Structure 1
Amino acid sequence: MTDLYAVADFCLIPMGTAEPSVAEYIAECQRVLEKSGLKFKLHGYGTNLEGPWSQVSQAIHDCHAAVHAKGAPRVATDIRIGTRVDREIAPGEGNEGKVKRVEEILAKDQK
C-alpha cells in the first residue's frame, strides 16, 4: 500500500518559556514547514498541513525539534489527521476542498 494522503490540523504548544507569547516559536515551526515542501496554512490556533502521512508526521516532528532547539524545554501538540480512500484527493487541495464544499452548500442558502 502506498503512503496515505493525510489532511491534518495541529496546534503546537511551547511550554516552560520565559515569555507568555509563543509567536517566535510558532514562527520557527512555520520556517520548518516552508522547507518541508508540504502545503500548510497557519491560523489563529494552529496550522493546517497536508501531504503523504509520513511527510506530515515528519514535519510535525521537525517542528518539535526546532522549537526545542530555540529554547522551549517542553512542547505539547494536539493533532487531528484525516485520510480517505474512497476518492482521489489532489495533492494540496485537501483542506481547500473541504472548505469549498461547505461554502457551496452555504451559497445555496443565499439563492
Structure 2
Amino acid sequence: MSDLYAVADFCLIPMGIGEPSVAKYIAECQRVLEKAGVHYKMHGYGTNIEGPWSAVMQAIHDCHAAVHAKGAPRVATDIRIGTRTDREIAPGQGNEGKVKRVEDILAQEETKA
C-alpha cells in the first residue's frame, strides 16, 4: 500500500521559554515547513498541513527539532489527522476543499433567502 495522504492540523507549543510570546518559535517552524515540501497554512492557533503521511510526520518532527534548537527546552504538540481512501484528494486541496464545501452550502442558503 502506498503512503496515505494525510490532512492534519497541529498546534506546536514551546514550553519553558520564560516569555509570553511564542512567535519567534512558530516562525522557525514555518521556515521548516517551507522547506519540507508539504502544503501548509498557518492560522491563529495552529497550522493546517497536508501531504503523504510520512512527510507530514517528518515535518512535525523537524518543527520540534528546530524549536528545541531555538532554545525551547520542552515542546508539546496537539495533532488531528484525517485520511481517506474512498476518493483521491488533489495535493494541497484537502483543507481548502473542506472549507470550500461549507462556503458553498452557506452561499446557496443566502441565495434562497
Shorter-normalised TM range: over 0.9
Matched, 1:49 2:49: yes
Distance 1:38 1:55 in 2: 7
User: 1:13-47 CA deviation, whole Å, 9 max, x = no partner?
Assistant: 00000211000000000000000011100000000
Aligned to 2:62: 62
4+ runs deviating over 2 angstroms: none
TM-score (norm 1): 0.99
Aligned to 2:88: 88
User: 1:34-68 CA deviation, whole Å, 9 max, x = no partner?
Assistant: 00011100000000000000000000000000000
Give ranges in structure 1 of 5+ residues lacking alignment.
none
Q: Give the aligned CA root-mean-square deviation in angstroms.
A: 0.4
TM-score (norm 2): 0.97
Count, aligned residues: 111
Distance 1:56 1:88 in 2: 17
Q: Percent identity?
A: 83
Give ranges in structure 2 of 5+ residues lacking alignment.
none
SS at match of 1:20: coil
Residues 1-111 of structure 1 mapped to structure 2, 5 A cutoff: 1-111=1-111
Amino acid at match of 1:22: V
SS at match of 1:110: helix
